[in-house]
């Protein structure tokens, strides 16, 4: 059994049941993995909360708290973030790497960051800033309520962008079950970047329409420049949600990250 604990942070709007088959398969393979429900994602299908939507920093704080809990138990930690989840992962991981904690006389820590078709913001950049080069027609249509919660306004159109490999009706039904997501979280710039000090893997989805592969590659290249290390890249011919359109390959990738951590 792997000695590494994996934390999984989902993409915007996404509830954990969308990832549960992947999480279950990783668990069945003998790896400890926990999915985190982000504060910026509503509690259930098409719902937010009747209060001001939280920030990306709230997501990062929850994730950092989980990492610290595991690290204080002496565990090595791998974080996997999907889509928007790469932003709070970048923010939260700073200072929590295993080598950094070891230098402070502390046990455990993050040994790898896994970006799953995920945004990798530069220092001082927000999620929206990181994807600003994407044409407007490739952005899913949204509505925003009085508390700052976004809702996918046209599930069929969004499914055509992120689940184009599924039958249209099935894709639209999945998107129609998305929760609301905090608009503010896409505006919050990262103030620290954990990827400078922690090894990085990237699951590059070559048929992603909302995070085009050339943009994903530009993020990877920047990480390599800033960190001075190669990024471990795995490419799949699938779209933005490989957990639904390339489930086995996604599971295999996560298990590979655990093996790399245990090596």
Residue 231's domain is classified under what CATH number?
A: 3.40.50.1820
Task: Give the Cα separation of 95 and 213 in Å (integer).
Answer: 29
Beta bridge partners of 241: none
Domain count, the chain: 1
Give me the mean pLDDT over the 221-238 stretch. Answer: 98
- The pTM of the full predicted model, rounded to 2 decimals, is 0.97
Dig out the tokens for 119 from the structure. 């945004």
Roughly what angle, to the nearest 10 degrees, separates helices 168-176 and 155-162? 110
> Count of CB atoms within 10 A of residue 249's CB?
16
Whole-number pLDDT of residue 167: 98
Whether residue 44 contacts residue 59, with contact meaning beta carbons closer than 8 Å, is answered with no
Task: Give the Cα separation of 99 and 250 in Å (integer).
Answer: 27
**Residue pLDDT, tens place only, 14-43:** 999 999 999 999 999 999 999 999 999 999
Q: In which domain, by residue range, is 109 found?
A: 4-262
**Residue pLDDT, tens place only, 127-164:** 999 999 998 888 899 999 999 999 999 999 999 999 99
Is the model's pLDDT at 262 over the cut of 90? no
- For the beta sheet containing 142-144, the strands, ordered from the edge strand earlier in sequence to the opposite edge, are 142-144, 149-152, 181-182
Task: Give the Cα separation of 56 and 68 in Å (integer).
Answer: 18
Dig out the tokens for 49 from the structure. 């909360």
Strand 32-35 with 4-9, pairing: parallel
Query: Residue 185: which of 235, 262, 121, 250 has the closest Cα?
Result: 121
Whole-number pLDDT of residue 1: 54
Beta bridge partners of 196: none
| Measured distance between the N- and C-terminal CA atoms of the chain, rounded to whole angstroms | 13
Give me the mean pLDDT over the 200-209 stretch. Answer: 98
- For the beta sheet containing 232-236, the strands, ordered from the edge strand earlier in sequence to the opposite edge, are 32-35, 4-9, 76-82, 109-116, 200-205, 232-236
SS3 content of the chain, % helix, strand, coil (to 5): 40, 20, 40
Dig out the tokens for 34 from the structure. 């926990």
Dig out the tokens for 100 from the structure. 């950094």
Decide: helix, strand or coil at residue 170: helix
């Amino acid at each position: 059994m792997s000695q590494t604990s994996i934390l999984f942070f989902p993409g915007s709007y996404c509830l954990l049941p969308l990832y549960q088959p992947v999480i279950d398969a990783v668990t069945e393979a003998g790896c400890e993995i926990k999915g985190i429900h982000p504060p910026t994602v509503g509690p259930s299908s098409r719902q937010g909360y009747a209060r001001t939507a939280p920030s990306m920093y709230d997501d990062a704080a929850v994730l950092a708290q989980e990492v610290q809990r595991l690290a204080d138990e002496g565990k090595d930690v791998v974080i996997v973030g999907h889509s928007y989840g790469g932003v709070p992962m970048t923010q939260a991981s700073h200072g929590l790497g295993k080598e950094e904690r070891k230098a402070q006389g502390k046990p455990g820590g993050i040994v790898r960051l896994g970006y799953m078709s995920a945004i990798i913001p530069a220092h001082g950049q927000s999620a929206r800033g990181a994807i600003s080069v994407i044409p407007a027609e490739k952005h899913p249509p949204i509505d925003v309520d009085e508390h700052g919660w976004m809702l996918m306004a046209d599930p069929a159109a969004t499914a055509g962008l992120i689940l184009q490999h599924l039958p249209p009706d099935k894709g639209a039904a999945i998107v129609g079950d998305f929760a609301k997501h905090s608009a503010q979280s896409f505006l919050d710039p990262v103030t620290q970047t954990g990827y400078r000090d922690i090894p990085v893997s990237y699951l590059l989805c070559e048929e992603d329409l909302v995070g085009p592969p050339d943009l994903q590659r530009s993020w990877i290249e920047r990480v390599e420049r800033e960190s001075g290390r190669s990024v471990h890249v795995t490419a799949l011919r699938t779209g933005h949600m490989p957990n639904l359109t390339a489930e086995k390959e996604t599971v295999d990738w996560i298990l590979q990250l655990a093996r790399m951590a245990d090596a």
